[in-house]
Structure 1
């Protein structure tokens, strides 16, 4: 069993060297050795995620949560940006939010 601390990226990055060191010590071939990888401290990781930023487990290959992550960051950025008209808008520009009165004509054809 190879165990890493999911709150510490360096421990995850060390898995290969730990596996190689173990195989070297016991003189085993890594191709057929039954390894299992465990990510420990999942309870702490959830707590840390809540405190800092939104967290998504993603897979670009399987298209899991990638789009949702981009939507979340876009919404967050838009909330922080004040709404203001573009600098190039003319002063007499049409206000699309303002309802304009439509005059009905009695003329036929």
Structure 2
């Protein structure tokens, strides 16, 4: 009989797509998740989300993708969903120069409500509508990304299904890279816990006969009263007295006589 290996669990990542209304955020999500494109797609009201399983570098991930409304009147509806995000896609349209200029406002809004550090969070800049005539110079986009300390930029087309999956794969890879950097920094600072080393927990020995086996005033705890660090040293076993708690000789007591006869 073959040994069945348990299925590999996927990592759940929350992905938020931000950008002006009409840049193609919903089309990008629908193309990636269900490989559909709707020419007459309506503007998103509030927020919408869809799930998609993906394999990146041999590891399974479940992306929970949140599409946010780009109109200003939906500001109060979308901002509560920023917290807890793992990845943010800043989306603009290659035929709309203003949408690129507004990306800084979207980034600042996300940083304010998501409460993350900009230098340690994976932002991905996505230039959508690559199938249309470009009004933005690639060098201009690269300079904007450099100024905002964003490492990845990619052009996509939801209509032509160009680089859509690649954008999300790059986002996951960027998240993995920053996670490894954060782990390395924690190791240098000595803030990691080695789960392979055994941990000796403090225990109070209480006699099951009700006597407690203690010296009085210790509430049944059988430890040395001179060990002042008993309560504070969670990683060090206290000095216990060697005492025979069980098998002690006790005087046999006779049952009282009664006048009852059976």
TM-score bracket for this pair, using the shorter chain length: 0.3 to 0.5
Q: Which has the higher contact order (CA 8 A, sep 6+)?
A: 1
Identify the structure with the greater strand proportion: 2
TM value normalised by structure 2: 0.18
| Bigger CA radius of gyration | 2
TM-score with structure 1 setting the length: 0.41
